[in-house]
């Protein structure tokens, strides 16, 4: 269960451990949702295609033209690139490469979050503010640290600690080239976000 959680998800058993029992199919469309805590507000969401399922996680793809619904900003963005996002049961981050039309890495975007809840047709989690963005050459930067520090007192203590521990975990994930990270390429400019 989510330790220290208040609100509609309090006391609810969540699937943090494995993909066992959750059978996503390649080609299936899933809705991906990120919530803010403690507000229980939907922060942003999108629909994506499942393109790969492994014991360590599920990889989703948003092709060019996909819609990214940023509820907090009241905006809908149409992607001008292809975005891959891997979700790892039990890990406090998700992410993957953004690719140009030639299949080259523009950058990697990693979101620090609670472990994903894997449900039929849906993957949801709480956004914990911190992001790690990495260039195609695997040089990385942490973003939104001030936002995390401001919201940190509102998170359960274990969440705050896990969010901070996720940063070196993401950096190691990229440095060692674990799935779905590709071999280093020439760096590109940071993408506008």
pTM for this structure? 0.90
CA gap 133, 136 in Å, rounded: 10
Q: Would you place residue 23 in the very low, low, confident or very high pLDDT band (cuts 50, 70, 90)?
A: confident
Name the more confident of 16 and 135.
135
Does pLDDT of 11 surpass 80? no
Show the domains of the chain with their CATH numbers: 29-175 (2.40.380.10)
CA gap 145, 184 in Å, rounded: 26
3-state secondary structure of 154: helix
Residue 165: HSE in the Cβ half-sphere, 13 Å Cα cutoff: 10
Closest CA to 66 of 98, 92, 89, 43: 98
* pLDDT given at position 193: 86
Q: Average per-residue pLDDT in the chain?
A: 92
Name the more confident of 193 and 166.
166
Average pLDDT over every residue of 35-46: 96
Q: Which two tokens stand for residue 143?
A: 């973003």
* pLDDT given at position 17: 46
């Amino acid at each position: 269960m989510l330790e220290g959680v208040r609100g509609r998800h309090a006391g609810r058993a969540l699937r943090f451990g494995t993909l066992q029992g959750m059978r996503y199919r390649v080609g299936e469309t899933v809705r991906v949702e990120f919530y803010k805590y403690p507000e229980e507000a939907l922060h942003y969401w999108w629909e994506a295609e499942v393109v790969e399922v492994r014991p360590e996680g599920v990889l989703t793809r948003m092709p060019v033209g996909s819609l990214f619904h940023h509820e907090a900003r009241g905006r809908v963005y149409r992607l001008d690139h292809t975005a891959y996002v891997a979700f790892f049961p039990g890990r406090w981050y998700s992410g993957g490469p953004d690719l140009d039309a030639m299949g080259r890495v523009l950058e990697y975007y990693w979101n620090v979050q609670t472990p994903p809840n894997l449900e039929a047709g849906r993957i949801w989690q709480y956004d914990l503010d911190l992001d790690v963005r990495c260039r195609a050459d695997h040089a990385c930067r942490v973003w939104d640290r001030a936002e995390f520090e401001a919201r940190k007192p509102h998170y359960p203590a274990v969440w705050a600690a896990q969010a901070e521990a996720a940063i070196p975990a993401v950096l190691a994930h990229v440095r060692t080239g674990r799935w779905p990270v590709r071999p280093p390429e020439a760096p590109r400019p940071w993408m506008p976000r």
